[in-house]
Structure 1
Amino acid sequence: MNVPELKVRHQRPFSLRDRLIGYMYLVRLHRPIGIFLLMWPALWALWLAGDGQPPWLVVVIFVLGVVLMRSAGCAINDYADRDFDGHVARTNRRPLATGDVTPGEAIGVFVGLSLMSFGLVLQLNWQTIALSIVALLLTFVYPFMKRFTHVPQLFLGAAFGWAIPMAFTAVTGTIPVYAWVLFVATLIWALIYDTQYAMVDREDDLKIGVKSTAILFGRWDRHVIGLLQLLMLALLFWVGQQAGRGPVYVSSLLVAAGFSIYQQKLTWNREPAACFQAFLNNNFFGMVVFVGLVLDYALIG
């Protein structure tokens, strides 16, 4: 998406165009990586729950819900970080930091998008509606956790992974054990990619007192990420075995393992730009696992 550059201002923009640009930056429509990282686990779960043929209406509802809730999460995240973003090189041009969007407007965007997402969920069964309340709470709570714990990524992973039990209840009305294992794998995945993300901001975060796993792990960051990558791949393999998946899915995990190795190479010297590229590379990791599932069901059944 081609969005005009958001300029640093000392006063509120008055034109509708400038206001809309500010809102687009607030919800990160110009950076869809967060949408993909939230969408892939949801699609994994939908294909597993639907035995390769999930109801298409449910798929559409979940995809739209992913876009809305990721956008809502960005709005509440920027509200929570409004006093910090101006002091971090990567975030000092966000719309609350520049004054293009007010804190009140950010809350309004969060509430509006959350209500739109809830309207979609109302088309599903009562179990999924009940689980959606937990998803909303996790989305709201996560941005504030970095003030209190060095592992806010656990809350991010829970928020991003909660689409998995929701997908199973939406399709089957139940949540099997392997679905919860898939949820844990997604939580671990969030620890991986958000630690890579936090490695970009580590020096700034240390100065302003923001906590992260990159700070917690210190010089062992790459080693911990590597162990987590191995554990996630093992859990994804186990889930596939429990779901009766075949060699095509296993092959996709081997390709995903290659992406994990590449991410280790990118973060080797802990250069911020390379660490950010490692974070972005997780989109391909999630995509190849999904493609493996789709092809495995299509070719093997």
Structure 2
Amino acid sequence: MIKKLKYYGELIKIEHTIFALPFAIASIFIVEKGLPSVDKLFWILVAVIAGRTAGMAFNRFFDLPFDKLNPRSKNWASVSGLVKPIEILVLAIISSIVLIFSAYMLNKLAFYLSPIAILLLIIYPLGKRFTNFVHLILGAVYFIIPIAVSIALKASVVPSAVFLGLAMAFWVSGFDIFYSLQDIEFDKKVGLYSIPSKFGIKNAILFARFFHFLTLIFLILTGIYADLGLIYYIGLFILTLFLVYEHSLIKENDLSNINVAFFTINGYVSIIYMFFVILDIYLNWRL
């Protein structure tokens, strides 16, 4: 049983929750200007975790034919048979049901809109079959996180949630481009679409830089519309330094630091953002 749980953990890359969860928590504090009731906080976090689990499971299920051919993924639990395809699909369906139920526990509007999230989670792994801009589909998944938080807490969409959603969308799209650089030759060989496989490494890096520039613009707008203060902008300055460092690690002729740039640096980015949002709201230092 312990081994099986370990395989499931590897399947859904549970450590990658560090990308979405801190931003979701930051969204809660921005929309609510503090902590909401315990029950709302609980169901929002359950929805985020269930949604991410469903997304990874759908991704592994639909990508299985390609993952079996890709040398980079040959040792994955889904490819080696340690987790069977039917088990992956069941995990995706159960997680989707948990997401929808969590939305139901929050309010009717969240419940009615929850299938949109499921649809995006299914479209993303299929997107690399028909569009080079598949990274933006993943970005759309992250875009709806603050929107969903706003609907869960206010039954409406506040402007700051929209700007934060756009920031998250371009942040994720940018580092997903970096991640896909690992498979550029494989994608060309099997006919999968991505910005790197279409435009080359140099132009893909430029796309990622532009997307992360937009991330910073939308994070500034988030601060303005959420009426956040000095501490928030100090946090954005530190966050910017981490993004600049991330981009310094990825070079056209040297992709050896992709894992550091993808996981370590972006993990810090999400945690830094959450920390400074919470600190700003509680200390309330205004410019």
Aligned to 1:139: 121
Is the 8 Å Cα contact of residues 61 and 121 (structure 1) preserved in structure 2? yes
Is the 8 Å Cα contact of residues 23 and 273 (structure 2) preserved in structure 1? no
Supply the distance in 1 between the matched residues of 2:2 and 2:208 (Cα, whole angstroms): 42
Greater helix fraction, Structure 1 or Structure 2: 2
Worse-superposed segment, 109-118 or 233-242: 109-118
Match of 2:182 among 173, 190, 200: 200
1:183 lines up with 2:180 in the alignment: no
Is the 8 Å Cα contact of residues 133 and 194 (structure 2) preserved in structure 1? yes
Match of 1:248 among 211, 228, 231: 231
Q: CA deviation at 1:217?
A: 3.7
Change (3 A) 1:272 1:98: farther
Worse-superposed segment, 263-272 or 130-139: 263-272
User: Per the alignment, in what secondary structure is the counterpart of residue 73 of structure 2?
Assistant: coil
1:298 lines up with 2:247 in the alignment: no
1:66 lines up with 2:48 in the alignment: yes
Match of 2:135 among 148, 153, 162: 153
- The alignment-based identity, stated in percent, is 25
Aligned to 1:224: 207
Aligned to 2:272: 288
Supply the distance in 1 between the matched residues of 2:165 and 2:65 (Cα, whole angstroms): 32
Change (3 A) 1:85 1:163: same
Supply the distance in 2 between the matched residues of 1:39 and 1:247 (Cα, whole angstroms): 24
Change (3 A) 1:211 1:270: farther
Supply the distance in 2 between the matched residues of 1:118 and 1:99 (Cα, whole angstroms): 29
Q: How many residues align?
A: 283
Q: Which amino acid aligns with 2:151?
A: T
User: Per the alignment, in what secondary structure is the counterpart of residue 193 of structure 2?
Assistant: coil
Is the 8 Å Cα contact of residues 217 and 224 (structure 1) preserved in structure 2? no
1:23 lines up with 2:23 in the alignment: no
Q: Which amino acid aligns with 1:197?
A: Y
User: Per the alignment, in what secondary structure is the counterpart of residue 124 of structure 2?
Assistant: helix
Is the 8 Å Cα contact of residues 196 and 203 (structure 2) preserved in structure 1? no
Match of 1:126 among 94, 98, 108: 108
- Tell me the TM-score normalized by structure 1: 0.88
Supply the distance in 1 between the matched residues of 2:134 and 2:57 (Cα, whole angstroms): 17
Q: Which amino acid aligns with 1:158?
A: A
Q: CA deviation at 1:184?
A: 1.6
Supply the distance in 1 between the matched residues of 2:51 and 2:161 (Cα, whole angstroms): 21
Q: In the TM superposition, what whole-angstrom CA distance separates every residue of 1:170-223 from its partner, at most 9, and x where no partner exists?
A: 111211233222222211112111011111222222222221122234222222
Match of 1:76 among 49, 54, 58: 58
Unaligned runs of 5+ residues in structure 1 are: 1-15
Is the 8 Å Cα contact of residues 41 and 161 (structure 1) preserved in structure 2? no
Change (3 A) 1:235 1:18: closer
- Tell me the TM-score normalized by structure 2: 0.92
Q: CA deviation at 1:26?
A: 2.2
Q: In the TM superposition, what whole-angstrom CA distance separates every residue of 1:16-65 from its partner, at most 9, and x where no partner exists?
A: 56544433332223xx12x1222233222211110133333322222222
1:173 lines up with 2:159 in the alignment: no
Is the 8 Å Cα contact of residues 86 and 93 (structure 1) preserved in structure 2? no
RMSD: 1.8
Q: CA deviation at 1:120?
A: 2.2
Q: Which amino acid aligns with 1:148?
A: F
Change (3 A) 1:97 1:257: same
Q: CA deviation at 1:145?
A: 0.6
Q: In the TM superposition, what whole-angstrom CA distance separates every residue of 1:138-181 from its partner, at most 9, and x where no partner exists?
A: 11221111111111111111112212111101111211233222
Q: In the TM superposition, what whole-angstrom CA distance separates every residue of 1:52-87 from its partner, at most 9, and x where no partner exists?
A: 333333222222222222122111111111111122
Supply the distance in 2 between the matched residues of 1:231 and 1:282 (Cα, whole angstroms): 16
